[in-house]
Amino acid sequence: MQINILAGGPTELWPDNLFEEPGLWIGADRGAWRLYQHGMAMLMAVGDFDSLAASELATLQAHLQANEIIHVQAEKDETDTELALRYAQEQKPDQIKVFGATGGRVDHLLSNLWLMADPVFHDIVEKTTFIDRLNTVSYVQPGEKTVRKVPHTKYLGFMPINDVADFHIIDAKYPLALTENVAKMWSSNEFKTDVVHISLKTGIVMVTQSRD
């Protein structure tokens, strides 16, 4: 089962044919309103909905069943995207794709991309991908891993997001061997074939694939 989450980021960063994506949808805050506008059925709408006008929220509440909308207070510890991911995780999906989570405020962007460092999401780290028009962001946990090239991307990046040790980029254009954790984005690497092999002993590494 695939679950898609639509957050409230800029629509100009949506991938082409976004609503042709297979799977079930969860709307996070304004993302729920945009799903409604496009006639998309929702498994759940979640958030404080502070980005919606009162009339928009009333329309959304009238459209959904009571058990299909979680309206939380604006004063909370979790972001709306985090709440959506928690609900998605409870469904035990095979894959989670998050859209609308980039662009706009940089604190929102960093908060979203670092969510997989939270141990509560341990079970979905390698199942979760953040996607926009130009970028695909995935995550790898310890072990020997294979990264497959996303079509139409050129650049490959790696970012330790917690305590990563013995990290190796083996057969990309620019190999790397780190024995100690370095909190740095190793960017502008490239594939030589359609796969790159990496390994790490501890921690989580964010993998970015991008195009100009």
Is a pLDDT exceeding 90 seen at residue 48? no
Same domain (yes/no): 42, 52: yes
Q: How many CB atoms lie within 10 A of CB 180?
A: 9
Which residue from 26, 28, 33, 83 is spatially nearest to 53, judged by alpha carbons?
A: 33
Same domain (yes/no): 143, 87: no
Is a pLDDT exceeding 90 seen at residue 90? yes
Same domain (yes/no): 74, 161: no
Range of the domain at 200: 134-212
Residue-level pLDDT at 191? 97
Residue-level pLDDT at 65? 87
Residue-level pLDDT at 181? 82
Task: Count the domains in the chain.
Answer: 2
Same domain (yes/no): 141, 129: no
Both tokens of 187, joined, read 């960017």
Same domain (yes/no): 76, 169: no
* Interval 91-127: pLDDT, tens: 999 999 999 999 888 988 999 999 999 999 999 999 9
Report the alpha-carbon distance of residue 73 to residue 50 in Å, rounded.
Answer: 9
Sign of CA dihedral 150, 211, 113, 46: negative
Same domain (yes/no): 67, 79: yes
Same domain (yes/no): 111, 207: no
Same domain (yes/no): 125, 162: no
Virtual torsion, Cα 176, 177, 181, 182, nearest 10 deg: -30
Residue-level pLDDT at 82? 94
Both tokens of 208, joined, read 């970015």
Last residue of a domain, one of 91, 108, 133: 133
Same domain (yes/no): 121, 167: no
Helices 106-113 and 80-90: crossing angle in degrees, nearest 10, is 20
Last residue of a domain, one of 97, 118, 133: 133
* Interval 176-205: pLDDT, tens: 998 888 889 999 999 999 999 999 999 999
Residue-level pLDDT at 123? 96
Last residue of a domain, one of 100, 133, 166: 133
Is a pLDDT exceeding 80 seen at residue 128? yes
Both tokens of 1, joined, read 């089962």
Mean pLDDT of 9-37: 95
Residue-level pLDDT at 71? 85
Mean pLDDT of 8-28: 95
**Do 177 and 200 form a contact (C-beta atoms < 8 A)?**
no
Q: What is the mean pLDDT of the chain?
A: 94
Same domain (yes/no): 36, 117: yes
Question: Looking at residue 101, which CATH number applies to its domain?
Answer: 3.40.50.10240
Return the percent helix, strand and coil in the chain, to nearest 5. 25, 30, 40
